[in-house]
A and B are shown apart, each in its own frame.
Chain A
Amino acid sequence: NAGVTQTPKFQVLKTGQSMTLQCAQDMNHEYMSWYRQDPGMGLRLIHYSVGAGITDQGEVPNGYNVSRSTTEDFPLRLLSAAPSQTSVYFCASSYMGRVTNTQYFGPGTRLTVL
């Protein structure tokens, strides 16, 4: 199993540009989520999904869109990039019953917005 994969690993954008961060998992996990990690902050939840066709907002959803058309894929879209979105983004997945199921994290995407 490849686990959780993310592309790209690095990206530089200009303010106002849009892009999609890709996330895929091959473990048939129902639950997928996106976090951002900033210096001095913990991992903060952006959006999550409990299954195909179902998404919901986390702690810091503004400026980001998600969709879940398949169990495997959970892309994160930046509609109009801002310097405040410079961060490292992690995708994670787990089985349902997530209270106790551990989350599997992807390798991260380091995004810089100029």
Chain B
Amino acid sequence: ILNVEQSPQSLHVQEGDSTNFTCSFPSSNFYALHWYRWETAKSPEALFVMTLNGDEKKKGRISATLNTKEGYSYLYIKGSQPEDSATYLCAQYSGGGADGLTFGKGTHLIIQP
């Protein structure tokens, strides 16, 4: 079982400010890292899938970077808006005997007007 850690656990950000948070994962036998956005009372939705060291992906005001050698990924949100309030999950592909994704506990982001 992989150990995927996310920090901080929760984050309050003023509307208009930019923010970022971290996903740490084992760097050995790396396959892929997924980021999901999970709004309350909805199901998780995919943001990015990253596979290569140095990868940088962007979707609107949200971007993510990947460092597979040191085992971390950052998610950045530029100019936070209230609709960005959600839990952001990262997940690493497990491989081996238990297929599927190993999820971190998430970063709960609250944007304050």
Contact surface of A with B, Cβ cutoff 8 Å: 4, 33, 35, 40-45, 48, 50, 56-59, 90, 98-108
Contact = CB atoms under 8 A, between A and B. Distances in A.
Interface in B17-76: 31-32, 34, 42-46, 49, 51
A54 B104 CA distance: 27
Interface residues of B, number: 26
A59 B51 contact: no
A45 B105 contact: no
Contacts of A107: 42-43
Contact of B45 (A59, A101, A105): A105
What is the interface of chain B mostly: helix, strand, loop, or mixed? Answer: loop
Contact of B98 (A40, A58, A102): A58
Nearest to B50: A100
B99 interface: yes
8 contacts: A33-B100, A42-B105, A45-B100, A98-B93, A99-B95, A103-B34, A104-B46, A105-B43
Given A48-B99, A59-B1, A99 B51 contact: yes
Nearest to A37: B103
Contacts of A33: 99-100
Contact of B99 (A40, A50, A105, A108): A50
B4 interface: yes
B93 A103 contact: no
Contacts of B31: 99
Contacts of B4: 42
B101 interface: yes
A48 B102 CA distance: 13
Contact of B100 (A40, A41, A58, A104): A58
A43 B98 contact: no
Contacts of B32: 99-100
Interface in B65-113: 89, 91, 93-95, 98-106
A55 B100 CA distance: 12
